[in-house]
Chain A
Amino acid sequence: MSSVAPAAGGVGVLPRRKFELVLAGMPRRRAAEKRFRLYGQIAIGLGLAFLVILFASIILNGYTAFWQTHIRLDVTLDAARIDPQGNRDPEALRRADYNELIRDQLRAMFPDVSGRRDRLALYGLVSNGASFDLRDRVLANPELVGQKIALWVPADDDIDMLMKGNVDRSVPESDRRLKDNQLAWVDKLAAEGRLQQRFNADFFTRGDSRDAELAGIWGAAVGSLLTLMVTLALSFPLGVAAAVYLEEFAPRNRWTDLIEVNINNLAAVPSIVFGLLGLAVFINFFGLPRSAPLVGGLVLTLMTLPTIIIASRAALKSVPPSIREGALGIGASPMQVMIYHVVPLALPGMLTGTIIGMAQALGETAPLLMIGMVAFIADIPKGIFDPATALPVQIYLWADSPERAFVERTSAAIIVLLAFLAVMNAVAVVLRRRFERRW
């Protein structure tokens, strides 16, 4: 600097020297600029690479769960055995021994299997749920009794894994879950065209099961939906009301400052803490039922409220003051200004915040653990008081199951959860695009 200062009087020379100095430094600055951009690109590239690896591994692991190996059995629905009275009484039809019918059919297909142990192995080819499927079909359509029907029943999960190539036939028989004779039967069935990979509709319509081939995601999905409904019904009105009051009406003093700091802090509290709170307040004090979506929804409301309040306040802040002043100027009351002018304009932002809060709530497991929603629940919940689980809980439970076939179910459940999240986030983006106003 000192060399430049004394020459300030000389007009023509110095700018030229300065210019050269700047020029000389240019390549370095350009390179630095390039490097700076490159760092950003590397960061994005790495992030994308991890995302691709994650998605690829989940999808590759999970897509096979959308197909399930079925076995075709030609079952004779012997009227004398299912309905001895012949009056098609639903209660009698319900109590008939369908398992025996299926076993008879299996024995007829493999007449040379003898011995108790071998027979049990033979019956094991077919899922435990097959007899209940058959029962439900007969109950739905009693005219089937007396006919011979072709029935596609789910194969046992071990067979399913074999057909999907997840079982290594080369390991010694003692180390395999499927023995040599079972492999031979499966090969015979496959050769006769009695084995088929069919779309696994059960996965989307059934509740949880300990038999992997019968386990479905629907129970957990309904549980998640009910929980989110409770959360939305409570957190949206509460959050918006709180935001409107704090942003537009509340006086600025120590109390409102304190409230504001606390709301911001709450947004960062680990979710398990809300679970403990829910257990202490909603279950132990108010005596609400354990494992119910109602309690889950209440707990998740506590968790999403700060997110919604913060997003709603940001949306209110972005409405220009001229709108408020204009409305006030033509004689609207402050409440009318809010209801007819400011809130409608801020609504897209509020909804976006709400949906993002909901998406967060959809992925939570930790608080649900404390209030008993991490449980084995096979029946599909019918209301907010029935015991229920949620999608992420189902993933957690399946990941912990010993049976091999649950590995692909776990990934498939993750795919379903991700699809839900993607849809919710897409809705948030569309809302913002369509209704957002710029000033």
Chain B
Amino acid sequence: MTKATLVAAAALAAAAVGAAHAQSSRDYISIVGSSTVYPFATVVAEQFGKATKYKTPKIESTGSGGGIKLFCQGVGVQHPDITNSSRAIKSSELETCAKNGVKEVIEIKIGYDGLSIANSNAAKPASMTRKEVWLALAKEVPNPKGDGFVANPYKTWAEINPSLPNAKIEVLGPPPTSGTRDAFVELVMDEGCDQFPTVKALKKSDAKKHKAVCQTVREDGAFVEAGENDNLIVQKLAANPNAFGIFGYSFLDQNRDKVQGVAIEGVKPEFDAIASGKYPVSRPLFFYVKKAHVGVIPGLKEYVGEFVSTKAIGDEGYLSERGLIPMPAEERKKVMANAAGMTPMMAK
């Protein structure tokens, strides 16, 4: 027993010493952030790890907000070098960063992600406007008789627009913790509700009420939070032709034999339509690099170089195969120049 305790104590001591050592240097890149960027960043990381002498970067999928929080905690090897984000960093977040010593942050845009509403291939192809989607999913809608709001009365799609299917409204979507949900609220719900003059007027008079009306999703069973697993939504759509689902374009692209995209404002979520900006529901994807870590963490600059190279994010790069929508050539040139020069963001 005494021997065993001695061994255990020695192991603990060794662990403590080793920990101190491990923290003084790190030879791999540490990346956190958005689960939407994760499938793209991991492909780049793997390619980078195989093709260069550097180690494969470690990528955690923490969500955009969680990633920025970790990223902004400070400078030093115990903090991540890069955070992926499916939205632009907020100025309040940049302030937090600066307060913790992360003064210079490089913003790199990698392309676009289309958000798709889809249903089973067994159902008829559908076409909706954002206004109709909002009417189907909002908790409260403008009273058709006049002013004020009433709890959402619509039970079937046909009640909203007779050309839509005469089926119960049933939409499977991501939970509020997901970046996909944020994007859906911002790009579809907000846009849809502002098409009512009464709601739009509210924006000026009572911004809080406006936000609540536009962004609150109904809770009477028409909208089903299906968890973060988009594969699950695809399976459920295939089993139920009356249901619609909300997920990123890459999942639609991988499952075209089971599900089809719903046209929004008459435009189908197709690669070319998203790339040209015709499809209205798309968002830019970014990652942010800590400038203080460039030159300290081996391979950081080279990883950024690999990510913005034409063979990765170009029109026929390996990321477009995975469903990333590339930027127009001119914009990409700017991004590449930015990445090569490691130009930090201007303070806003």
A388's nearest neighbour on chain B, judged by CB, is: B58
| A234 CB within 8 Å of chain B | yes
B46: contacting residue among A124, A209, A387, CB under 8 A: A209
Known contacts A237-B5, A402-B323; A378/B56 CB under 8 A: yes
B41's nearest neighbour on chain A, judged by CB, is: A376
Known contacts A385-B22, A400-B231; A210/B257 CB under 8 A: no
A168 CB contacts on chain B under 8 angstroms: 257
CB distance from A306 to the nearest CB of B (A): 19
CB distance from A316 to the nearest CB of B (A): 14
Q: Contact string, B81-118, partner A, CB cutoff 8 A, digits 1/0?
A: 00000000000000000000000000000000000000
Known contacts A376-B42, A378-B49; A403/B254 CB under 8 A: yes
B189 CB contacts on chain A under 8 angstroms: none
| B121 CB within 8 Å of chain A | yes
Known contacts A402-B230, A402-B231; A387/B22 CB under 8 A: no
| B256 CB within 8 Å of chain A | yes
Contact B45 A376 (CB under 8 A): yes
A387: contacting residue among B28, B50, B121, B250, CB under 8 A: B28
Q: Contact string, B1-34, partner A, CB cutoff 8 A, digits 1/0?
A: 1001100100110010011001100101010000
B252-303 residues at the A interface, CB under 8 angstroms: 253-257, 260
Contact B18 A385 (CB under 8 A): yes
Q: How far is the CA of A234 from the CA of B14 in the complex (A)?
A: 13
A233 CB contacts on chain B under 8 angstroms: 8, 11
- Report which residue of B58, B251, B323 has the largest number of chain A beta carbons within 10 angstroms of its beta carbon: B58
B23's nearest neighbour on chain A, judged by CB, is: A287
A167 CB contacts on chain B under 8 angstroms: 257
| A228 CB within 8 Å of chain B | no
| B228 CB within 8 Å of chain A | yes
Q: How far is the CA of A175 from the CA of B118 in the complex (A)?
A: 14
A287: contacting residue among B5, B12, B46, B78, CB under 8 A: B78
| B38 CB within 8 Å of chain A | yes
CB distance from B230 to the nearest CB of A (A): 7
| A177 CB within 8 Å of chain B | yes
| B39 CB within 8 Å of chain A | yes
| A358 CB within 8 Å of chain B | no
Q: How far is the CA of A399 from the CA of B230 in the complex (A)?
A: 10
B231 CB contacts on chain A under 8 angstroms: 399-402, 407
State the main secondary structure of chain B at its contact with A: helix
A130-176 residues at the B interface, CB under 8 angstroms: 132, 167-168, 171, 174-176
| A374 CB within 8 Å of chain B | yes
Contact A375 B39 (CB under 8 A): no
| B59 CB within 8 Å of chain A | yes
Known contacts A210-B42, A404-B254; A291/B60 CB under 8 A: yes
A379-420 residues at the B interface, CB under 8 angstroms: 379, 384-385, 387, 399-404, 407
B22's nearest neighbour on chain A, judged by CB, is: A385
- Report which residue of A132, A171, A292, A385 has the largest number of chain B beta carbons within 10 angstroms of its beta carbon: A385
Known contacts A291-B58, A399-B229, A400-B228; A175/B46 CB under 8 A: no
| A32 CB within 8 Å of chain B | no
Q: Contact string, A277-312, partner B, CB cutoff 8 A, digits 1/0?
A: 000000100111111101000000000000000000
Q: How far is the CA of A290 from the CA of B251 in the complex (A)?
A: 30
Contact A377 B58 (CB under 8 A): yes
Contact B55 A375 (CB under 8 A): no
| B316 CB within 8 Å of chain A | yes
A402 CB contacts on chain B under 8 angstroms: 39, 230-231, 250-251, 253-255, 322-323
A374 CB contacts on chain B under 8 angstroms: 60-61
State the main secondary structure of chain A at its contact with B: loop
A396's nearest neighbour on chain B, judged by CB, is: B229
Contact A290 B254 (CB under 8 A): no
| A190 CB within 8 Å of chain B | no
B50's nearest neighbour on chain A, judged by CB, is: A132
| B43 CB within 8 Å of chain A | yes
B39 CB contacts on chain A under 8 angstroms: 210, 401-402
A94's nearest neighbour on chain B, judged by CB, is: B53
A4-33 residues at the B interface, CB under 8 angstroms: none
| A372 CB within 8 Å of chain B | yes
B55's nearest neighbour on chain A, judged by CB, is: A379
Contact B61 A237 (CB under 8 A): no
Q: Contact string, A103-130, partner B, CB cutoff 8 A, digits 1/0?
A: 0000000000000100010001000110
B4: contacting residue among A176, A177, A237, A400, CB under 8 A: A237
CB distance from B310 to the nearest CB of A (A): 14
| A339 CB within 8 Å of chain B | yes
Q: Contact string, B33-72, partner A, CB cutoff 8 A, digits 1/0?
A: 0000011011101110110000110111100000000000
Known contacts A171-B257, A339-B1; A377/B19 CB under 8 A: no
Contact A400 B56 (CB under 8 A): no
A407 CB contacts on chain B under 8 angstroms: 231
A376: contacting residue among B4, B26, B59, B228, CB under 8 A: B59
A209 CB contacts on chain B under 8 angstroms: 46
Known contacts A287-B78, A399-B231, A402-B254; A375/B60 CB under 8 A: yes
CB distance from B11 to the nearest CB of A (A): 6
Contact B22 A379 (CB under 8 A): no
Contact A376 B38 (CB under 8 A): yes
CB distance from B8 to the nearest CB of A (A): 5
Q: Contact string, A349-379, partner B, CB cutoff 8 A, digits 1/0?
A: 0000000000000000000000010111111
Q: How far is the CA of A168 from the CA of B38 in the complex (A)?
A: 29
Known contacts A287-B78, A402-B251; A377/B56 CB under 8 A: yes
- Report which residue of B38, B78, B255, B257 has the largest number of chain A beta carbons within 10 angstroms of its beta carbon: B257
Contact A289 B42 (CB under 8 A): no
A401 CB contacts on chain B under 8 angstroms: 39, 231
Q: How far is the CA of A111 from the CA of B256 in the complex (A)?
A: 30
B59 CB contacts on chain A under 8 angstroms: 375-377
A210: contacting residue among B18, B43, B61, B254, CB under 8 A: B43
Q: How far is the CA of A129 from the CA of B231 in the complex (A)?
A: 25
CB distance from B289 to the nearest CB of A (A): 18
Known contacts A210-B39, A375-B58, A385-B22; A290/B78 CB under 8 A: yes
Contact B230 A287 (CB under 8 A): no
Contact A210 B58 (CB under 8 A): no
- Report which residue of B4, B38, B42, B45 has the largest number of chain A beta carbons within 10 angstroms of its beta carbon: B42
- Where the two chains meet, the residues of B that have a C-beta atom closer than 8 Å to any C-beta of A are 1, 4-5, 8, 11-12, 15, 18-19, 22-23, 26, 28, 30, 38-39, 41-43, 45-47, 49-50, 55-56, 58-61, 78, 121, 228-231, 250-251, 253-257, 260, 316, 318, 321-323
Other A-B contacts than A379-B28, A400-B229, A400-B231, 13 sampled, CB-CB below 8 A, are A116-B316, A132-B50, A289-B78, A290-B78, A374-B60, A374-B61, A376-B61, A377-B59, A385-B22, A399-B231, A401-B39, A402-B254, A403-B254
> Could you jot down 19 A-B contacts, CB within 8 Å?
A129-B50, A171-B121, A175-B257, A177-B254, A237-B8, A283-B78, A286-B19, A287-B19, A288-B22, A290-B60, A291-B30, A294-B15, A376-B38, A376-B41, A379-B56, A384-B18, A400-B229, A400-B230, A402-B231
In the A-B complex, the 3 residue pairs with the closest CB atoms: A378-B56, A375-B60, A376-B59
